Amino acid sequence: MSPAALVDRFGRQITYLRVSVTDRCNLRCLYCMPEEGVALQPHEAILRYEEIARLVSVAARLGVSKVRITGGEPLVRPGVVELVRRLASIPGISDLAMTTNGVLLAQNARDLAEAGLQRVNVSLDTLRPDRFARLARRDHLAQVLAGLDAAEQAGLTPVKVNMVVIRGLNDDEVVSFARLTLARGWHVRYIEVMPLGEGEHWSEGGFVSALEIKERVEEQLGPLAALPHRSGSPARDWRLPGATGTLGFITPVTEHFCGECNRLRLTADGRLISCLLRGGEVDVRQALRDNADDEVLQNILRDSVSLKPSGHHLEECRPTVSRGMSGIGG
Ligand code: SAM
Ligand code: SF4
């Protein structure tokens, strides 16, 4: 490990930065945002692309090699392809990905890939149009499916599909999603719903554990074979017999992966967050706007990393961050 590396109090090296580029979204997923949307930050509060790129280049010199662009919905921010181009050209950034709801992916996939984006994770919670319209409060399933096809054609692969599973809402589709790994070779990942943002509504009766999902899939489709664990990945990966794609379980509630956590988050309004669920925010926007030198920015990154808690213990307590998922970027 280089002496310049970003290492927290518990010896974890931070190599992964999740960058939220907007708090706006073109969907209103029941568990994430209220119908009327969230109070939006004024434009001037949001980091400009050159400010994001500056911070990423400083972080890259401290060993950050992976960046994921997220939101809100990243594809609603104009010019995001240009941000991708800037970030892809930063020395040391070897893995550049995006998490999107896929609604605007069909028209952007080729440009994103050409600009240097390597992969996309598409959030999709149902394959039924009527249910999509209820769950996301917008009738856009066809656009998302077209976006997935376009991502595959553009080489933004492996395409990952992230499904938040909620009892009584979409848990009867876990087997249909598993079949996508046979038919399409996609990587499907089931996510346990977290009590964040609008999540409070779903956290009790709606919660479905990864263990239960796995049992339900195996009951219908046969035993899953375990794949080797990739260090730093929050998902445990499995494969159905004969499948080209994989199945993953992201278990923030029942089996947290904090011991291996290598990530730091940058919010759209320029705050660094070292843990999705606990710990404070550190302002980096002011320093970026004051044209602070690299050393000042490095120290701010180190300050944020020093606040990283050992874990979040979500099964025992409520999160202490005040932003919802759309404000942090997932
Ligand atoms: N709009 C983009 C999207 O939906 O992919 C990016 C931002 S969204 C906040 C990132 C991820 O967080 C999505 O996969 C979403 O399903 C997930 N998410 C939002 N609220 C959640 C919750 N309460 N529990 C678990 N996952 C949640
Ligand atoms: Fe928008 Fe993503 Fe939240 Fe859904 S999960 S409301 S797509 S930010």
pLDDT tens sequence across 227-237? 988 766 767 79
* pLDDT over 90 (residue 187): yes
Read off φ and ψ for residue 66, nearest 5 degrees: -120, 135
Q: Which residues contact 78 (CB under 8 A, 6 or more apart)?
A: none
Mean pLDDT on 265-273: 96
Tell the residue number behind the tokens 């096809």, with chain if given: 149
* pLDDT over 50 (residue 6): yes
Ligand 1 atom 14: the closest Cα is on which residue?
A: 123
Mutational test site, ligand 2, from 162, 276, 325, 328, max ligand atoms within 8 Å of CB:
325
* Predicted local confidence at residue 98, as pLDDT: 98
pTM: 0.94
* Predicted local confidence at residue 315, as pLDDT: 52
* Predicted local confidence at residue 102, as pLDDT: 98
Ligand 1 centroid – CA 295 distance (Å): 33
Percent of the chain past pLDDT 70, that is, above it, reads 90
Which atom in ligand 1 lies closest to the alpha carbon of residue 325? 9
**CB of 73 sitting under 6 A from ligand 2:** yes
**CB of 197 sitting under 6 A from ligand 1:** yes
Q: Which residues contact 12 (CB under 8 A, 6 or more apart)?
A: 259, 260, 261, 262, 308
Tokens of 170: 């979409």
Q: What is the pLDDT of residues 104-155, one digit of tens each?
A: 999 999 999 999 999 999 999 999 999 999 999 999 999 999 999 999 999 9
* pLDDT over 80 (residue 322): no
Strand order in the sheet with 271-273: 225-226, 235-239, 247-250, 187-192, 160-165, 119-123, 95-100, 66-70, 16-20, 263-266, 271-273, 281-283
Which ligand does the CA of 98 lie closest to?
Answer: 1
Q: Show the domains of the chain with their CATH numbers.
A: 16-328 (3.20.20.70)
Task: Count CB-CB contacts under 10 A for residue 34.
Answer: 12
Tokens of 249: 């379980």
Q: What is the mean pLDDT of the chain?
A: 91
Our CA angle for 301, 304, 309, nearest 5°, is 140
At 6, the amino acid letter reads L
* pLDDT over 90 (residue 44): yes
Which ligand does the CA of 24 lie closest to?
Answer: 2
Which ligand does the CA of 122 lie closest to?
Answer: 1
Ligand 1 centroid – CA 55 distance (Å): 24
* pLDDT over 90 (residue 62): yes
